[in-house]
């Protein structure tokens, strides 16, 4: 796999070309100071100081007595600077820009870095989802995610021609939040040598009768979308892309991923998806 194949799958690279067929998204260039904050695990877990006074965990219990004891203790040890807790980080300009973008997208978004979203940290959010309504909520999800370390440190590990461990710049994509998406209607499509060779449901932990009932119809809709909107427009020879089929039959492109082991083959195995494979149906 080449570095350019991985780079094409970054959302800031493919979104402008496929803007009309995907979810409305606003992309922000992240300052290096924010990347350092995400990667820093040398001290206590600190969320950025919010200029808008937003709290990503509004239901947490604050014990005033404990806080008072902590304050007194810190005052007593003021001569020992090594005991002072570090000040919380602050990104006022970035926070202001992101909060404005969230408002313009209807008040709720889900975040994504160059390649990945922090799905593994959804549990920490009050809603248990990736829905965010403020910069503070985004920071909580990003800082709590282990999967984003791949984007930040290991994106080019499998590339045969890479000389750098990470891209020069990172971006935060704010994608409009839709609360009524049905997991059984999200699919991963596998393109090998510019040929659609496989379609798999994205949610593989459940059985959905509708996928059996509408197998041929879905296959036809997805194949048509690929032929009209993706084929020949995405420059890699082999890759995967994710999409969502709405109840009215309209298809929304969600993401691109490289053809490699770090991309989950879901209901397939990678050997099944090689050129000799004839699996071309919804699974």
Per-residue confidence in pLDDT tens, the chain, 283 aa: 899 999 999 999 999 999 999 999 999 999 999 999 999 987 778 888 887 766 666 555 444 444 444 444 555 555 555 567 677 889 999 999 999 999 999 999 999 999 999 999 999 998 899 999 999 999 999 999 998 998 999 999 989 998 888 899 999 999 999 988 899 999 999 999 999 999 999 999 999 999 999 999 999 999 999 999 999 999 999 999 999 999 999 999 999 999 998 899 999 999 999 866 444 444 4
Cβ neighbours of residue 230 closer than 8 Å, sequence gap 6 or more:
18, 191, 241, 253
Looking at the structure, do residues 25 and 138 belong to the same domain, yes or no?
yes
Q: How far apart are CA 5 and CA 262, in angstroms?
A: 13
Q: Which structural domain range is residue 139 located in?
A: 3-44+89-176
Cβ neighbours of residue 81 closer than 8 Å, sequence gap 6 or more:
none
CATH number for position 250: 3.30.470
Question: What are the strands of the beta sheet with 109-112, ordered from one edge?
Answer: 25-29, 171-176, 109-112
Looking at the structure, do residues 171 and 236 belong to the same domain, yes or no?
no
- Is position 63 within any domain? no
pTM of the model: 0.85
User: Looking at 135, 155, 176, which one is the last position of a domain?
Assistant: 176
How distant is the alpha carbon of residue 93 from its chain centre? 22
Looking at the structure, do residues 116 and 238 belong to the same domain, yes or no?
no
- Is position 54 within any domain? no
- Is position 281 within any domain? no
Pairing of strands 239-245, 25-29: unpaired
């Amino acid at each position: 796999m080449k570095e350019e194949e991985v780079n094409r799958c970054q959302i800031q690279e493919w979104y402008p070309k496929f803007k009309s067929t995907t979810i409305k998204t606003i992309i922000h260039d992240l300052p290096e100071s924010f990347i350092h904050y995400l990667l820093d695990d040398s001290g206590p877990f600190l969320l950025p100081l919010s200029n808008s006074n937003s709290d990503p965990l509004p239901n947490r219990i604050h014990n005033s007595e404990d806080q008072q004891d902590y304050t007194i203790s810190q005052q007593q040890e003021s001569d020992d600077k090594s005991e002072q807790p570090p000040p919380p980080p602050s990104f006022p300009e970035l926070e202001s820009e992101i909060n404005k973008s969230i408002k313009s997208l209807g008040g709720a978004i889900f975040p994504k870095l160059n390649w990945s979203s922090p799905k593994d940290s959804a549990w920490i959010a009050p809603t248990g989802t990736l829905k965010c309504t403020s910069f503070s909520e985004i920071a909580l999800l990003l800082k709590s995610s282990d999967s984003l370390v791949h984007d930040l440190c290991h994106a080019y590990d499998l590339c045969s021609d890479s000389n750098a461990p990470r891209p020069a710049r990172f971006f935060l994509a704010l994608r409009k939040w839709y609360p009524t998406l049905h997991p059984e209607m999200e699919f991963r499509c596998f393109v090998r040598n510019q040929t659609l060779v496989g379609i798999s449901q994205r949610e593989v932990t459940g059985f959905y009768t509708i996928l059996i009932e509408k197998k041929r119809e879905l296959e036809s809709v997805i194949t048509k979308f690929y032929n009209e909107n993706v084929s020949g427009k995405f420059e890699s020879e082999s890759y995967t892309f994710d999409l969502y089929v709405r109840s009215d039959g309209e298809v929304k492109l969600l993401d691109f991923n490289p053809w490699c082991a770090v991309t989950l083959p879901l209901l397939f195995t990678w050997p099944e998806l090689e050129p000799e494979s004839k699996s071309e149906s919804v699974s």
